[in-house]
Amino acid sequence: MTDWTPFTARARDWFESLRDRICAEFEAIEREAGSEASFEYTPWQRAAVEGGEDGETGGGTRGVMKGKVFEKVGVNVSTVAGGLAKDFAGTIHGASSEQNAFSATGISLVAHMANPHVPAVHMNTRFLTTTRAWFGGGADLNPPLPYEDDTREFHGELKGACDRHGPDYYERYKAWADEYFYIPHRKVHRGVGGIFYDHLECTDEAEWEANFAFTKAVGEAFLAVFPRLVRRRMGMAFTPEDKARQLEWRGRYAEFNLVYDRGTLFGLRTGGNIDAILMSLPPEATWS
């Protein structure tokens, strides 16, 4: 069996470097808008989970900025290991109540914007091991006031990343995002989609390198496209009706993350930091 420990360390280093570049770019946008807002970073250590095993290790860093352009943006990186709660282990790929050891490292980002013309966004990539090892992640755009050119540009950047690594990746992972980011009780999609992939398995070092290269390409595509969309829209005038639409949409976003999102449940059930897990929730929302 492959010892995935050094591979987890390499993935962690990449996720941390991606975080640093994203946060620097977002802070640069705040400076362009005349704001001195910066990220505040809070380290945390993983707590033991009820029903898990001894040896829980790791933690992460929660980064949050509240500014003039980014009303609230969180960029988290975590690396944890230990035992999954036995009643939860069976829901995780490659784990069971008898074989519940796991490790996970990843980056998670959610940005809620001050101007309703600027789309909110989510991006997450991760590497997990149980009795199997795999990558997962993706990115999706969530505009309260959609623009076709923004949607087309966002998808185009992700398609380019996909096409360089698998001829069918974009169509498969776009369809998966459309299926996953859907709110059944509302019968609406959460946004205008993107890509979502999971269980991209690594059975040997060569597969790991290929899947890691794709995961890095997804991160680079996000960093290339989203700041362009922010700069395009952040100076637009908006009406009270536009703001009301944004706040209503944020309520839908909160519903999805609290009711359906697998990452939220995974974090809560594996001893993650609650504030880091729930950083995805908007600073303000309404329900009619």
**Could you give the 3-state DSSP secondary structure of residue 201?**
strand
* Torsion from C-alpha of 42, 215, 92, 251, nearest 10 degrees: 60
The span from the CA of 107 to the CA of 127, in Å, is: 10
Per the annotation, the verdict on 122 as an active-site residue is yes
The phi, psi pair for 279, rounded to 5°, reads -65, -15
State both tokens at 254: 């909160």
Give which of 62, 98, 106, 63 is closest to 81, Cα–Cα: 106
Active-site entry in 122, 155, 189, 199: 122
Sequence-distant (≥ 6) Cβ neighbours of residue 247 within 8 angstroms: 284, 285, 286
CA angle 186, 193, 75 (to 5 degrees): 100
Cα torsion 272, 40, 26, 286: sign:
positive
Sequence-distant (≥ 6) Cβ neighbours of residue 258 within 8 angstroms: 264, 281
Which residues belong to the active site? 122
